[in-house]
Amino acid sequence: DSGVTQTPKHLITATGQRVTLRCSPRSGDLSVYWYQQSLDQGLQFLIQYYNGEERAKGNILERFSAQQFPDLHSELNLSSLELGDSALYFCASSASPVDTQYFGPGTRLTVL
Amino acid sequence: DQQVKQNSPSLSVQEGRISILNCDYTNSMFDYFLWYKKYPAEGPTFLISISSIKDKNEDGRFTVFLNKSAKHLSLHIVPSQPGDSAVYFCAASARNAGNMLTFGGGTRLMVKP
């Protein structure tokens, strides 16, 4: 158990819908990262927050957004969902922006 | 372009023998390298890391070697155990440029009893 929690574990929704994935970092970690794992693209970095501020962005679609709240939990919002958004979404956290990242168990999103 | 590559999709090893997993990278800005182990439907579990200022790091049965001139790293597991069977991902980051991890495609390790 890495100490990073993610909810929900599974999510099934329809195309065009909007969902919110939630992540709570390890106790004391200030940095949160979101990654997507799809069958054809492997594990890809989406976005990073540090102490509430966006710090780095990867190939995150404009339909996706995220934020980190004052209690340091983070949410990833996915809107106008398409079939290709079906994937595993992982959250990771680290003590600082340069430390080792520890991953949560992931949320499996299925878009029908 | 794939900046981190694991050229062997799978590896089969006998219990008790050495497992060697390889990883190549192309980006000279990477200064931190990690290995993660992953089971299906679970998140990656951190195993071991190495900074670019070192060429070897050891933690129990796991040793990571870094050859900067060849842009190559490897993970050695000695002795291999059936419980080591999983997918292993190599990852790299440039810590002064965001620390986002770039992952290889993974190598499935099977350790036979």
pLDDT at residue A2, rounded to an integer: 86
Contact A35 B101 (CB under 8 A): yes
Mean pLDDT of B53-63: 97
Average confidence score pLDDT of chain B? 95
The residue among B107, B60, B69 whose CA lies nearest residue B88 is B107
3-state secondary structure of A90: strand
**Which tokens belong to B56?**
């070897």
A65 close to B (CB below 8 A): no
pLDDT one-digit tens code per residue, A56-106: 999 899 999 999 999 999 999 999 999 999 999 999 999 988 889 999 999
**B32 and B100 in contact (C-beta within 8 Å)?**
no
pLDDT at residue B50, rounded to an integer: 96
The residue among A109, A101, A108, A83 whose CA lies nearest residue A4 is A101
Contact B99 A102 (CB under 8 A): no
The residue in chain B having the minimum alpha-carbon distance to the alpha carbon of residue A58 is: B100
Sheet with A74-78: strands ordered across: A5-7, A19-24, A74-78, A64-68
pLDDT one-digit tens code per residue, A8-52: 999 999 999 999 999 999 999 999 999 999 877 789 999 999 999
Out of A42, A58, A90, name the one closest to residue B105 (CB). Answer: A42
Mean pLDDT of B50-72: 97
pLDDT confidence bin for B97, thresholds 50/70/90: confident
The residue in chain B having the minimum alpha-carbon distance to the alpha carbon of residue A104 is: B43
3-state secondary structure of A14: coil
**A83 and A26 in contact (C-beta within 8 Å)?**
no
**Residues 6 or more apart whose Cβ sits within 8 Å of residue A8:** A21, A22, A107
pLDDT at residue B63, rounded to an integer: 98
A68 close to B (CB below 8 A): no
CA distances from B94 to A61, B29, B31 (A): 23, 6, 5
Mean pLDDT of B8-33: 96
* pLDDT for residue B65 is more than 90: yes
* pLDDT for residue B1 is more than 80: no
Mean pLDDT of B72-89: 97
The residue in chain B having the minimum alpha-carbon distance to the alpha carbon of residue A49 is: B98
pLDDT at residue A63, rounded to an integer: 97
pLDDT at residue B95, rounded to an integer: 84
**Which tokens belong to B106?**
């993974």
Contact B99 A101 (CB under 8 A): yes
pLDDT at residue A27, rounded to an integer: 95
